[in-house]
Amino acid sequence: MSTAVESVKEIAEVPSFQVTLFVRRFDPENDAEPKWQDFDVTVFGTDRVLDALHKIKWELDGSLTFRRSCAHGVCGSDAMRINGRNRLACKTLIKDLDITQPIYVEPIKGLKVEKDLVVDMNPFYQAYRDVKPFLIASDSPTKERIQSPEDRARFDDTTKCILCAACTTSCPVFWTDNQYFGPAAIVNAHRFIFDSRDEAAEVRLDILNDKEGVWRCRTTFNCTEACPRGIEVTKAIAEVKQAVLRGRA
Amino acid sequence: MARAMANEVREGRGAGPNKDYVLLDLTHLEPAVIDAKLPDITEFARTYLGVEPYTEPVPVFPTAHYAMGGIPTNIKAEVLRDNDTVVPGLYAAGECACVSVHGANRLGTNSLLDINVFGKRAGIYAVEYAKDAKFVDVPEDAIAETVKLIEHMRNATGTEKIAVIRKELQDTMDKNAQVYRTEESLNEALDKIKELRKRYEHIQVQDRGMRFNTDLLEAIELGFLLDLAEVLAFTARERRESRGGHFREDYETRDDEKFMVHSMAYKTESDIKIDWKPVTITNYPPMERKY
Ligand SMILES: Cc1cc2nc3c(=O)[nH]c(=O)nc-3n(C[C@H](O)[C@H](O)[C@H](O)COP(=O)(O)OP(=O)(O)OC[C@H]3O[C@@H](n4cnc5c(N)ncnc54)[C@H](O)[C@@H]3O)c2cc1C
Ligand code: SF4
Ligand code: FES
């Protein structure tokens, strides 16, 4: 176990610095319009944008409202627009942003703002539910359904989705047409359409052949760029389009 | 494992400028193996520490990621009021519950077993119960107590900050009720919790809003965290032995004569009352762990 230890770089004292955050605020009980508010905070080199938001909430203004839970990119609750790009606040290190400029933080676009950085996720979840994101099989097995590693690999990428909505709310089609299923729902349909144990691929492909389905995708790749899990979202959508035309390969 | 890691740090052999972690060396594994078996955890190392696990050892240290113990239930997931009286129509399953499948230490992945098996059972028995359960008369003021709690908190104008009390609670639990415990450390935790409880009465909530009030939510949660921390430290103190995940430096061995029992904690007006529930042993008698 010890050979590599000599190559350990000492993790030195973590430097701290000042940043300014401009946060888009909206209080439905008092504001007619959203407004920007700026906060100066001292952060450390290892801090994420989420840490800065916590610092504001816990030390400066308890009313700042945002969702978060796991704080390490697993639960998908803190997608927001940071400097104009959809990201998870808990996975965006402040030192990786341009800290000579203020950091702009706003809610993800295309969903109704509930309060500050919190949006109404219901339409997003509804599209997800509509593609039947669960295993559908007609038998009642008495032991586990065996699947080969190759068959499992077919949909591995899309199992990684954490339903953060970063993709769907970065999609220009979704911004203009809220009825569009959106990339996340298609990713989650892909996860079952290409699962060898599932029997309802046709049902899902039919749902996505709808006028608000896969054909609305304009291949702008915003979704792939936004995905904090590195899922090849656009590729998954393309595979679903192919499957609609030619059946599941 | 957790104890071995904590021990290295305690005895001054930790790594880093503050000697407060140990290093996990994965460099003998092929990158492909690392990618296939440990994709998430290695990504954390890269994202948050800037460490490349293919070639560098990763700083690690134990942290809490499961609460053993919880709301007592039987194997139908029915909540128990005491050692065996069921609270009709109330079910608990998963991390909040304690049906005791884990014994004195939960093994990795077994919490998912808990959710799947007892979540399903809770559903089945709840349906069965609901089939012929009658509505009970609800008093006019049934929600009064909860409304009072929430309104009291929402308008709290004290000087104590939620985050400060919570941090101090975390620190004392980390220091005194973690992997190693003693009567002294647990007493220290209990004294601190008592102090924090007093301060909690003067909590400050800044958000007065009626919608999506996370400031209020955190304030209310903190009250429950104080309750839970107290129960945990209290029952750990009363268990004067070492067993499973509970290691007492002042009582290093297992004492089946006195402590082959579940700890049952009851909240009284001013304090916690502890009682014991016998363990039913069927096919697998507990054995001393030997490696
Ligand atoms: C970092 C970490 C790693 C872990 N790794 C593993 C592992 O590898 N293997 C394993 O088996 N276990 C692991 N666990 C443990 C396991 O994840 C949990 O025990 C399990 O997820 C608990 O599931 P649950 O459904 O009981 O509770 P939770 O998943 O906590 O669900 C509780 C739900 O209740 C909701 N809720 C809370 N309050 C309210 C309210 N007032 N009203 C309405 N809803 C409310 C919450 O939002 C939440 O959705 C890990 C835990 C952590 C933290
Ligand atoms: S595909 Fe990626 S960006 Fe879209 S919801 Fe899933 S994890 Fe988030
Ligand atoms: S808080 Fe869970 S993904 Fe960021």
CB-based burial, B250-284: b 16+ in 10 Å, e otherwise: ebeebeeeebbebbbbeeeeeebeeeeeeeeeeee
A189 and A132 share a domain?
A: yes
Structural domain contains residue A223: yes
Are A103 and A148 contained in the same domain?
A: no
In a domain, A1, yes or no: no
CB atoms B211 and A10 under 8 Å: no
Domain boundary among A103, A119, A135: A119
Query: Where does a domain end: A80, A99, A119?
Result: A119
Render pLDDT for A15-72 as a digit per residue (tens, 0 to 9): 889 999 999 999 999 999 999 999 999 999 899 999 999 999 999 999 999 999 999 9
DSSP code string of B145-193 = HHHHHHHHHHT-B-SB-HHHHHHHHHHHHHHHSSSEE-HHHHHHHHHHH
Whether A83 is in a domain gets the answer yes
Domain total of chain A: 2
Our measurement of the distance from residue A130's CA atom to the centroid of its chain's CA atoms, rounded to an integer in Å, reads 18
Tell me if A30 is assigned to some domain: yes
Q: How many CB atoms lie within 10 A of CB B136?
A: 8
Q: Is the domain of A141 the same as that of A110?
A: no
Position A132, amino acid: K
State the pTM of this model.
0.93
Task: Clarify whether residues A15 and A42 are in a common domain.
Answer: yes
Q: Are B49 and B57 in contact (CB under 8 A)?
A: no
Q: Which of residues 90-149 of A touch B (CB under 8 A)?
A: 91, 93, 114-115, 118
CATH of the domain at A77: 3.10.20.30
Do residue A65 and residue B57 have CB atoms under 8 angstroms apart? no
Cα torsion at A113, A115, A118, A124 (round to 10°)? Answer: -30
What whole-number distance in Å separates Cα of residue B59 and Cα of residue B22?
Answer: 6
Interchain proximity B48–A29, CB inside 8 Å: no
Residues A129 and A111 in one domain: no
- Which of A61, A95, A119 finishes a domain? A119
Q: Does ligand 3 come within 6 angstroms of the Cβ of A78?
A: yes
Residue A4 has pLDDT above 50, yes or no: no
ipTM, two decimals: 0.91
Residue A240 lies in a domain: yes
- CA-based torsion, B224, B228, B234, B238: positive or negative: positive
Q: Indicate if the pLDDT at residue B166 is higher than 90.
A: yes
Looking at the fold, whether A95 and A188 belong to one and the same domain comes out as no
A74 three-class SS = coil
Q: pLDDT of A64-84, one tens digit each?
A: 999 999 999 999 999 999 999
User: pLDDT (tens digit, 9 = 90+) per residue, B267-277?
Assistant: 998 889 999 99
For residue A88, give its domain range: 9-119
Across the interface, which of B204, B205, B210 has its CB nearest the CB of A29? Answer: B210
- Residue A91 to residue A79: CA distance in whole angstroms: 10
Same domain for A107 and A28, yes or no, is yes
Does A236 lie in the same domain as A184?
A: yes
Same domain as A205, residue A96: no
pLDDT for A1 equals: 38
